[in-house]
Structure 1
Amino acid sequence: MISADNVEQSLRQLALESSCNGNGFDSEDSKILKWNLPLRELYKMACSFYKEKSGKAIHLSYEDNLKLVAFTQQAAHGPLDVAKTPQLGMFDVIGKDRRIAWQHLGTITKLQAMEGFIDLLDRLCPLFKPYVEAIKKDREEKIRQAQLEEARRREQQEKEKETLAELKRMEDERNREEMQRRQLQDALNQQTYHQFKDYAEKQFPGNPEQQAVLIRQLQNEHYHQYMQQLQAQVSSNYSQMRASGESESELNGSGFEYPAGQHQDQTISAKENSQLEYKEQCDSDEESGEYAVISPANMWTKSDIKLFKQEVTSGKGDGVIRVCHGDTITVRVPTHEGGSCLFWEFATDNYDIGFGVYFEWGKPSTTEVSVHISESDEDEDTLEDDDVVCAEDLECGVQQQKQYNSSSSSSVNRNPISIIVPIYRRECQTEVYAGSHSYPGEGTYLLKFDNSYSLWRSKTLYYKVFYTR
């Protein structure tokens, strides 16, 4: 058994130190001890450490344990009240020692008892401070991670807002462009409706449904060719401005936005619009001018595509061709001395294909129909300098543009070529596309089936060509 006087002296000294260290602050909120932690929180850490490590990582003397237990009793219940405490047994020596140690703490407050327990444990056990610092560091790391996570979450929200705003802006832009396109197409349709209606009545007399289909097809062709001419005009003006040293900003302000009222300022009549759409100036020598203007072709569609494919496959037509991706098929059809008009019909399986008709002037060297397969860039020397064919590739989402140039050395001696029907995509997988054209003179028709815009898909082509007197 330890000396009661020694315990009493030690506890009074610790109580005095705790009272002095407390500096008179009994408020729980204002008690901040070492390691910058609140008193009650640090006390809980100290009690947990003492219970977990006592007898394992730390080995204290009986006297030191009495002192620590006395501080915990004082912190939990306040000063000892002998009248309210139960009596101890005669042989409960440890209980009597603990109660004596608790009684010797006197009237120090609960907060001072907590502080005394922490100070004593810190002096007796060097591992307590690293234990507290580790918990504090882990807590700070969790707080830092939470702050980083919150910052990332806010950043993600900002990015999502920006993405939604950009998508909305793009959607508004697409809607605006679509509205402008419809306004422009409606204006063009109003200009050419009566002319196309008269033409459709001559082609399908007494058949309003076929007339409506043909009018719609002619209006679509009119719009696409008008946009091609418009694009070529803008490109030409842009090149001229760059050559003359004018800035691009001046080009943007020069009036190429085509409002609806602009068409009223143009002096081109509906008939002249049709001529711009379907007629191309023949390639001729500038001095002689021996070639005439080519008349427009007639184009229409037929719905019996299944029967047409069966006829061609069974040998009642010209044939079936596999048009590989990236290739262009050119069917060369010479004019026949006994004919006056060329007819053509074609369709495909599953996907559309580009189609156009050209005329090569000059006496044909043969009367046989021939088929030529080439890649898109091999045909660049077959058209005039200013002939541009555009195709919007719906399969890969890219708008391609092929510029044909006949100024190279390999095309110096070629016969002049005129455009009858410009190349653009036809929905020939749903219906048969047909057309005819009156001979403008001696030469060779070039029926071009263009699959150069497709990066992956090959097309199966069914076609027929024939002439009439």
Structure 2
Amino acid sequence: MSTITSKKEVKTIWDIPLESLYSLVTDFYKKEKDTIVLDYEQKIRLLAFFKQEKLGPFSSDKDSDTGYFDVVGSHRRKAWISLRDMSNEEARQGLIKLLDAATPRLKDYALQRWREEQRQLEKENCQDQREEKITQSAPTPPKPVAMKSVLAPAALWCTPKAARDFISQISTSPDHRVEVGPGEALTIQVPTSTKASAIFWEFVTEKEDIGFGLRYQRSPGEGVATYPVDQLLPVTKRDCSEDLILGSHQYMTQGTYMLQFDNSHCTSCKIVYYKVFYQTSTPSQ
């Protein structure tokens, strides 16, 4: 059976610091108190050490629950008072010494738990060091940058008095017809084709004019987060209820075209008929 005889020995006993050892001992007692054999005086003394360590020296305001006819409470109070000005560390020593004398299992439990905690701590420290080394050795990825694109100008022309013929040719296909509500704007996105080098478009309205513009955004590349959106043709009113409006653009990179139909200036709905196709060896829809 181990014994604790002085404050100096407690700080080094079992190679466990006093504060850590006290935590392990109280944890052991909570789990095993039903199997630890203590007589009445030892239980009273154990509680006195616990209160002294937690609350300090006795004072009546710290023990107001003990009544006049509470015999057990009176004994506990006297045991606490007898510790006088015992320090926090000395109270811990007293509690550990009392339980160590009562059960030989305490030392084995404390040593096992302490070693487990130290191994876990070493494991966590090693993991932190490995993660730090990996972070330090990992190359810093290049920051994505926005790039300016250089594009050829877009072409736009018209075929006079061709609107009715164009509508009669494609009016049966709902894919070539869109409605733009009053005060609204509509954008049709058209991706480029890897098998072509130019895009063509044609459009008319059933009645009245409509605003039209063309935008283009190049697809992101390696190390490039995004390219700016280029306004190839500004949104401008086009008289397209009688004339067929045509246009084309030569592209060198892959991206997305945005055909803009703007009816924000008008209070009536516009029906737009349009067609988009690419130029390969021969133009195809």
Scaled by the length of structure 2, the TM-score of the pair is 0.43
Highest relative contact order (Cα 8 Å, sep 6+), 1 or 2? 2
Higher Rg of the two aligned structures: 1
Task: Write 1 or 2 for the structure with the bigger share of strand.
Answer: 2
